[in-house]
Amino acid sequence: MERGRAWEVLVTEHQSAGRGRLDRSWGTPAGTSLTFSATVPAPVDAVGWLPLISGLAVAEAVHALTGLRAALKWPNDVLLTSEGNRKVCGILCEYRPALRSAEALVVVGIGINVSQTRDQLPVDTATSLALAGAGDVDREDLLTTVLDRFATRYAALAAGGSAANGVRAAYRSACVTVGTRVRLERPGQDPCLADAVDVDTDGALIVDDGSGPVRYAAGDVTHLRPASHDGGLA
């Protein structure tokens, strides 16, 4: 956020004061995760899609390197289907407006659980690639593959038209939030219980509590029942 240049990547071996959504704190044991941040120019009219394509890039990279099926939970979690949709990756994107001569940026923060044992994970709903049977995953290979997939999806999104529509379709196909009963929470507001029915062209989640569809550009989502489709990346 402070360096202020686009297309930079900062990787850490050990993160002790990580920050997630809603200012949640978390840490990772040294040498067990892939934790990094990357700066990208804020795409015009598509900022809401950055956490979504980040998750898509992680899911595609995980499948390419390990063969594991990965699914996406709107807006920022990657789940492993073979592990009962436990979380293997979290994502936080932060917008930095243009400052003087510096362009507007988004800092994409990604943390992937690679080799943690069960007792190294903070909650039962989390997992790691190792626990899912991925074997010895080279974290540098995983990093470069995620960045490559992200760059490809980012370029298509920025191109607009059919290329961007293809990215949106790929995300919707892998997103198990769609078709699920959810609790959606936002700071300072009562939780919303509804059915998640779609992700719109801006990346917002469309939910319906029985009184008609409503869009939410941000929120903390809990799945209350299994999705109606298989989801994930084959």
Query: What is the per-residue pLDDT across 91-123, written as a single tens digit (0 to 9) for each?
Result: 999 999 887 767 899 999 999 999 999 999 988
| pLDDT score recorded for residue 217 | 87
Regarding whether 167 and 204 lie in a shared domain, the answer is no
pLDDT for 171 equals 97
Q: Are residues 13 and 129 in the same domain?
A: yes
Instruction: Give per-residue burial for 91-129: e unless 16+ CB within 10 Å, then b.
Output: bbbeebeeeeeeeebbbbbbbbbbbbeeeebeeeebbbb
Domain co-membership, 166 together with 212: no
For residues 59 and 82, membership in a common domain is answered with yes
Q: Strand 86-96 to strand 9-12: parallel, antiparallel, or no bridges (unpaired)?
A: unpaired
Residues 154, 55: Cα–Cα separation, whole Å: 12
Residue 24, C-beta contacts closer than 8 angstroms, at least 6 positions apart: none
Question: In terms of DSSP H, where are the helices of the chain?
Answer: 50-66, 139-159, 161-174
Range of the domain at 203: 181-223
* pLDDT per residue as tens digits for the range 18-77: 665 555 556 678 889 999 999 999 988 889 999 999 999 999 999 999 999 999 999 999
- In this prediction, residue 61 carries a pLDDT of 98
Confidence of residue 130 (pLDDT cuts 50, 70, 90): very high
- Give the CATH number of the domain where residue 207 resides: 2.30.30.100
Q: Is 187 helix (H, G, I), strand (E, B) or coil?
A: coil
Q: Is residue 231 part of a domain?
A: no
The 3-state DSSP class for residue 186 equals coil
User: Minimum mean pLDDT among 84-88, 184-188, 193-197, 209-213: which range?
Assistant: 184-188
Query: Is 148 found in the same domain as 206?
Result: no
* Length of the chain as a residue count: 234
* Same domain flag for 104 and 23: yes
Shared-domain flag, residues 124 and 165:
yes
Domain boundary among 158, 174, 190: 174
- Please report whether residue 232 resides in a domain: no
Number of structural domains the chain divides into: 2
Do 232 and 81 meet the contact criterion of CB atoms below 8 Å apart?
A: yes
